Amino acid sequence: MYPRSCDTFVALPPSTEGQRIIFGKNSDRPCDEVQEVVYFPAKEHIPGKVECTYIEIEQVEKTYAVVLSRPAWLWGAEMGANEHQVCIGNEAVWGRESADGDEALLGMDLVRLGLERADTAEKAVDVITDLLEKYGQGGNCMEDECGFTYHNSFLISDRKEAWVLETAGKHWAAERVEAGYRNISNQYSITTKIDKEHPGMRTYAKEQGWWDGESDFSFTDVYSYSSTARIQAAGGRYCEGQKLLQKSNGHITAQTMMDILRDKESGINMEGMFMSTGSMVSVVPKDAHLPGVHFFTATPDPERSVFKPFVFVSDVPPLKHTSSPCFGEEDPVKKKPRFQSKPNRKHPLFLKQEEAAAIIDSSGERGLGIVEKMRDLEKQKLVEMEKYLTEGIEDSSLLVHLFTDTVEEEFSVYSSD
């Protein structure tokens, strides 16, 4: 199977300007799939179960507040952040271990569960790997295509560090990143620097004949298809992402990350049947007294979208403009056999941006004017957020409707002549 999926990036000092961690991700999904941005407040739970995309698992006593960008048909998320400024994105990976299997936890479910249950990046690694061991990973990863399954890699960051977690079935390896930059794509990338691992990972590889038990253990060498496949993959988006990060090394900002996610020449901003259907950039100061700012597009193609800021404060209401219609028990995903009908999941912003994109594609004067106003709005928000990132928040009530208000400003851009 040709690796079709996403790219996730993180930059830490000294590769960034100021004592900040910059996280970014494009979610590359089927071109007709809607990605929504939703917020769930912190919540205390009575003992019981939580229903994920395909299976139920044990619920924890308390879940943290999260903001998520997710395909609208499922429970989990492609990417997101929580109130403790933990950010997670996942990628599809394929290797020697078969990805075929029964319905279990999707990688996207594990993203949401990690955010809801962990207040640091390292704890998120532990949450995800514990759940992987208990419940496994598996299930169809598209709404209307049966049999599209994969293993997952994750890039996880917080205020002080980042972790790369790569999985093959229930086996996994994790690498701590304390400085510089790192990216993941659709290939294994952890080599001999392994800071945590599944206790049976090496024994299993030896039993399968993938490792001789004596040479240096490289997770990528052992669990990838072959050296040839690995070399071919290294020539793709993974290496292009590294080059773009290196180009701005020492000066990486939120704007830098947005530009990387918009880069079409590298293939990072994907077009075609699989395209970048949602994007995220987070700016997280190392200083715990300062807020993190999380920008989401909630619309396809970051080049034709606006990154809108979200800040965790008390009493944030539901993000109605980027929430898709809910079909409850009538949703075809919940029924068997599945995929007999596919409901319209387009949220209000998606519909508005879809209309604007048609105008922009016409290359007329009005289309150029819309793009210019979109960029002006985004730059305005970047400037406004800089105050909070450097000075903190004096009146949190001003930020309760920040994301929704910005979406309404985006509506105005699309409605203007």
In tens, the pLDDT along 332-375 reads 777 655 556 778 999 999 999 999 999 998 878 889 999 999 99
291/397 Cα distance (integer angstroms): 14
How does the average pLDDT of the chain come out, rounded?
93
Choice among 6, 52, 87, 141 that is catalytic: 6
64/389 Cα distance (integer angstroms): 22
**Beta strand 62-63 pairing with 43-44:** antiparallel
What is the pLDDT averaged over residues 396-404?
A: 97
In tens, the pLDDT along 24-80 reads 999 999 999 999 999 999 999 999 999 999 999 999 999 999 999 999 999 999 999
In tens, the pLDDT along 246-269 reads 999 999 999 999 999 999 999 999
**Beta strand 43-44 pairing with 20-30:** unpaired
In tens, the pLDDT along 294-322 reads 999 999 999 999 999 999 999 999 999 99
Q: Do 221 and 210 form a contact (C-beta atoms < 8 A)? A: no
In the structure, what pLDDT confidence band is assigned to residue 226 with cuts at 50, 70 and 90? low
Mind listing the domains of the chain with CATH numbers? 7-404 (3.60.60.10)
- Looking at residue 372, what is its pLDDT? 96
379/397 Cα distance (integer angstroms): 22
- Report pTM: 0.95
| pLDDT over threshold 70, residue 233 | no
In tens, the pLDDT along 115-149 reads 999 999 999 999 999 999 999 999 998 887 677 88
Strand order in the sheet with 293-296: 181-184, 7-11, 20-30, 274-285, 293-296, 308-310
Q: Enter the DSSP assignment of 313.
A: -
- More confident: 63 or 98: 63
- Is there a catalytic annotation at residue 141? no
What are phi and psi for residue 264, nearest 5 degrees? -90, -30
Q: Do 257 and 24 form a contact (C-beta atoms < 8 A)? A: yes
DSSP string, 329-375: GG-GGGSSS--S-------HHHHHHHHHHHHHHTT-HHHHHHHHHHH
Q: Enter the DSSP assignment of 323.
A: P
- Looking at residue 41, what is its pLDDT? 98
